Amino acid sequence: MCEKYLKPGDCILELFSLHFLLFLVASLAAYHAVGHLARNYAWLVLLAASLAFYCLVGRWQTLAYMLACAAVTWAAPLALARMDARCKEERAAAPDRAARRAAKAAWAGRRRAVLVAALLACFGILAYLKYWNVLLYEVGLAASPASLGLLLPLGISFYTFQSVSYLVDAYNGRFEPQRNFLKHLLFVSWFPQVIQGPINRYEQLSPQLLEYHEARSVRYDRAILRFCYGALKKIAIANMLVGVIEAIFSNVTTGIPGSVVVFGILLYSAQQYGDFSGGIDMVEAASSLFGVGMAENFRRPYFSVSLADFWRRWHITLGTWMRDYVFFPFAVSRPMRALGARASRLGEHLGRTLPACVANLLVFLIVGLWHGAEPHYVAWGLYNGLVIALADLLAPAFRRANEALRVDTGSCAHRVFCVVRTFLVVNVGWYFDRIYDFGDSLLCLRNTFTNFDASAFLVTLHEDGLATLDLQFLAFAALACIIVFIVSLAQERGVDVPERILGWNCVARAALYFLVLGLIVITSFLTQNVAGGFMYANF
């Protein structure tokens, strides 16, 4: 998914397009041409391609924000390194231990000041461009969430978070900071990641970007297969469903039947996954064509056995970012330690888990805000944090209940139960994510339980402007969902599906590829062509 609130036309180049494919081919050709001649400079091609891609896909005018973010997060760690050196010198020259300690404290304070200043600069730009207008709108000082006309740079959340992770890790001395600005800029701007992530880490990504990867070391077959799989999820599932979901939730009335709400939320569940994970598959595949493996961002989240497990499988890189840069620092902070100590008087479990629960609430509040500043996103974030916190706090009670009821928690049936339960819990969360008015979210949730009214299902869908044919066409999305489910199930069981497919004979593979391509093509006709795609029309 592209950043929310990108203005129409900002994200104009689709990944499943000839333009992008030609861009990839040209970049690959240039990469290997330069790599053969001067392998140490091949990364410059990747940088040039990344900057060109940013200008092609986003607005070139917003490139300045990315350059500013890269400059800040490049300069600050270098300044920190210089401060470390100065600190060492001063400590070495200090006459006694007290003086050494004083020098260390003084430099630590300065280092913190540099870090805070750099963080404020990065997050300040993000907050201003992404939240300021929405905030003014929410308090009635702006006509609409986009009325100020602020240009939201493509991928600003992703490259800001990624740059900040570099900054904080450098501050913590995890690696030597990068001295070459262009190499750092490549880490920040690597083109497959700017559209929708993942949020990569410097130690994992940067060495791969800077090292030349020969063509024969790259598994193009796996990359192409993954690209097509991603396109299937994005086009045949997400794009197919988005119109129906929009029709259902664009005008929520008090009488909306729960059956329609549940249908819309289930579709949204599939649409969200198809859109985000499909897009990620495509950009991961694009990156791997250059021999650069980016961080995985999804691990079959709808097979999760708890909401916490879900968040370890959904948007993984955001989760790990939050864990490392928000959760841990906050959970081990002095106030949280004090809270844990006080709570432990009421029980050891409470003392151990309460700080983590509070930290989780904070993390998910930020995750909600990361998606947008509107109240429904905040509610969605808090809902997730609250459920996870409660599950953590009540874990002993659940354990005792399982023992009392002699539930075999290791059985397959129990796992299926947990997966279904988690799926339902996640879907309740989607109410707050997808229904853009918080009041409407609550209304839909209420109607789900008090006014299910299955008999009004079809009538309401028709009133929402959905023709019978629109609903029949959902069969294509359902077929794609079945394919994704089968693949996911096999992967859950440890099967390396791409390798298995690549081991088939040519005819079977050609048949599979044609089936997948056909499904993509048909659903693309249905969704791309406003005026009668894949409908009988004699041109």
Residues 454-513 that bind another protein (CB under 8 A): 459, 491-496, 498-500, 502-503, 506-507, 509-511, 513
Tokens of 159: 């490259």
73 or 527, CB closer to another protein?
Answer: 527
Q: How far is the CB of 387 from another protein (least distance, A)?
A: 10
211 — alpha (psi -120 to 50), left (phi > 0) or beta?
Answer: beta
Cα 286–Cα 292–Cα 293 angle in degrees, nearest 5: 90
Cα 175–Cα 180–Cα 186 angle in degrees, nearest 5: 90
Phi, psi of 298 (to 5 degrees): -140, 140
- Which span (121-129, 183-191, 282-290, 444-452) binds another protein, by CB under 8 A? 282-290
- Which span (121-129, 141-149, 265-273, 350-358) binds another protein, by CB under 8 A? 350-358
531: helix, strand or coil: coil
Is residue 204 near another protein by the rule CB under 8 A?
yes
Tokens of 150: 């602020």
Strand partners, 298: 314
Question: Identity (one letter) of the amino acid at 119?
Answer: L
Please, are residues 69 and 161 in contact by the beta-carbon 8 Å criterion? no
Q: How far is the CB of 71 from another protein (least distance, A)?
A: 25
Q: Candidates 105, 332, 397, 482: give the one binding another protein (CB under 8 A).
A: 332
Applying the rule CB under 8 A, the residues between 11 and 40 that interact with another protein are 12-14, 16-19, 21
Q: In 3-state terms, the chain is what percent helix, strand and coil (to 5)?
A: 75, 0, 25
Q: Candidates 50, 196, 353, 460: give the one binding another protein (CB under 8 A).
A: 353
- Among 157, 258, 284, residue whose Cα is nearest residue 460: 258
Alpha-carbon span 416 to 437, nearest angstrom: 33
Residues 329, 333, 335, 340, CA torsion sign: positive
Q: Candidates 238, 294, 461, 484: give the one binding another protein (CB under 8 A).
A: 294
- Among 105, 156, 108, residue whose Cα is nearest residue 129: 156
Is residue 108 near another protein by the rule CB under 8 A?
no
92 or 506, CB closer to another protein?
Answer: 506
Q: Candidates 100, 104, 323, 421: give the one binding another protein (CB under 8 A).
A: 323
231 or 262, CB closer to another protein?
Answer: 231
Is residue 348 near another protein by the rule CB under 8 A?
yes
Q: How far is the CB of 69 from another protein (least distance, A)?
A: 20
Q: Candidates 299, 305, 437, 457: give the one binding another protein (CB under 8 A).
A: 299
Q: Candidates 58, 177, 198, 274: give the one binding another protein (CB under 8 A).
A: 198
Is residue 201 near another protein by the rule CB under 8 A?
yes
Is residue 341 near another protein by the rule CB under 8 A?
yes
Is residue 287 near another protein by the rule CB under 8 A?
yes
Alpha-carbon span 378 to 231, nearest angstrom: 31
Q: Candidates 392, 437, 453, 470: give the one binding another protein (CB under 8 A).
A: 392
Alpha-carbon span 221 to 396, nearest angstrom: 48
Q: Candidates 39, 179, 352, 446: give the one binding another protein (CB under 8 A).
A: 352
Applying the rule CB under 8 A, the residues between 229 and 268 that interact with another protein are 235
Please, are residues 232 and 487 in contact by the beta-carbon 8 Å criterion? no
Applying the rule CB under 8 A, the residues between 401 and 420 that interact with another protein are none
Q: Candidates 227, 268, 311, 431: give the one binding another protein (CB under 8 A).
A: 311
Q: How far is the CB of 379 from another protein (least distance, A)?
A: 19
Please, are residues 248 and 268 in contact by the beta-carbon 8 Å criterion? no
84 or 348, CB closer to another protein?
Answer: 348
Residues written for the chain:
539
Q: How far is the CB of 141 from another protein (least distance, A)?
A: 29
Please, are residues 438 and 251 in contact by the beta-carbon 8 Å criterion? no
139: helix, strand or coil: coil
Is residue 200 near another protein by the rule CB under 8 A?
yes
Q: Candidates 91, 183, 312, 414: give the one binding another protein (CB under 8 A).
A: 312
- Which span (100-108, 366-374, 396-404, 520-528) binds another protein, by CB under 8 A? 520-528
450 or 472, CB closer to another protein?
Answer: 472
HEC states along 470-488?
HHHCHHHHHHHHHHHHHHH
DSSP assignment letter at 456: G
Is residue 295 near another protein by the rule CB under 8 A?
yes
**Among all chains, which residue has been given the structure tokens 């001649």?**
37
